[in-house]
Amino acid sequence: MSARIVHIARNTFREAVRDRVLYNLIAFALLLSGAAIFVSQISIEIERLVVVNLGLTAVSLFGVVIAIFIGIGLVSKEIDKRTLYTVLSRPVRRWEFIIGKFFGLAGTLVVNTFFMAIGVFGALLYVAHKFSKPDALILVALYFIILEFLIICSLALLFSSFSSPLLSAMFAFSLFVIGSFADDLRGFARLTHGFTRWFATGAAYLVPNFSTLNVISPVAHQQPLGAQLILQNSLYALFYTAMALSGAVLIFERRNLK
């Protein structure tokens, strides 16, 4: 990775921290500790399930919100503040700027997820009093959540490269919702015929399939996950992210910044 990309990524990370993004960890900690303490008093036999389900769902949703709301402003904010011109007047290529921003945001989310993971395991220890071997599966679920963030970051950057922050947020959030229904969309495509079938199938493959990255329920029930699933999900997220980032680079390279 070029030194310029590293610099841009580092500055993006610093900016996110300066914008008090990591404050969400306080809300997360309160939510999780509250659940761990009180759930046994209002429900029956699901303390561990609640901690795992709530913890991983919160990691995912908090991260998605951060990815979208920071990602959409990464390019437009630089244009509004006119700092982009300063950066691009130096020997920095436009694609390096996009890739640097992506790694900066992804780094922020990885750090955020790391602290949240500590919270999840802490709450789990509180309710279960010990760790068991299947608890390691939570790490796989967290890894898949990070893969999900990579896709969302790249999509937010893609939209940010040509659209306003408001529209970018709407597009990115809509894709997150549609991507959660990707399996249904594929099922719908199978029920149709002719052009509609082609169109629905194309749309089903074009939108990100977040349901394949969501293994929270099986992990909560300590069901094993195959190595093939881990490998193929990793490759899928890698290629999808590369696709969205390539699109962002293509658009941004041709964008008239005058």
Partner 1 sequence: MTARGCTTVIASASLALSMTACVLLLRHLDQIRPKATIEDVLYIDSPKMVKRASLGFDGLMACIYWTRTVQYFGHRHYSRERTYNELAPLLEITTALDPHLLPAYEFGASFLAPPPPNGAGQPDRAIQLMQYGIAHNPDNWHLYYDLGFVYYTELRDYTKASETFDRGSRVPNAHPFMKIMAAQTAEHAGDYMTARMLWSATFDSSRQTEIRQNAMEHLRAIQVDEDVSHLQSAVTRFGERTGRLPSSISELCAAEHLPSIPVDPDGDPYTMTPQGRILVKNPDDFPFISKGLPPGYKPSGPPKFHSKG
Structure tokens at 173: 């959030």
- The residue within the footprint of partner 1, chosen from 153, 216, 248, 251 (CB under 8 A), is 216
Q: How far apart are alpha carbons 2 and 27 in whole angstroms?
A: 36
| Residue with Cβ nearer partner 1 (62 or 252) | 62
Give the interface segment with partner 1, choosing from 3-11, 107-115, 167-175, 208-216 (CB under 8 A): 208-216
CB of 178 to partner 1, least distance (A): 10
CB of 170 to partner 1, least distance (A): 17
Instruction: Tell me if 68 sits within 8 A of 171, measured CB to CB.
Output: no
CA-based radius of gyration for the chain: 20
Q: What is the DSSP string of 7-49?
A: HHHHHHHHHHHHTTGGGHHHHHHHHHHHHHHHHHHHSSS-HHH
Closest of 177, 199, 179, 174 to residue 189, by C-alpha:
199
Give the interface segment with partner 1, choosing from 17-25, 104-112, 128-136, 219-227 (CB under 8 A): 219-227
Query: Per CB under 8 A, does 45 bind partner 1?
Result: yes
Residues 128-187 that bind partner 1 (CB under 8 A): 177, 180-181, 184
Which residues have C-beta within 8 Å of that of residue 77, sequence separation ≥ 6? 165
Q: How far apart are alpha carbons 27 and 32 in whole angstroms?
A: 9
CB of 150 to partner 1, least distance (A): 17
Which phi and psi (to 5°) does residue 18 adopt? -65, -30
| Residue with Cβ nearer partner 1 (138 or 251) | 138
Give the interface segment with partner 1, choosing from 26-34, 84-92, 121-129, 211-219 (CB under 8 A): 211-219
- The residue within the footprint of partner 1, chosen from 3, 42, 191, 227 (CB under 8 A), is 42
Interacting residues toward partner 1 by CB under 8 A: 39, 42-46, 49-50, 52-54, 57, 60-61, 177, 180-181, 184, 210-211, 214, 216-217, 220-221, 223
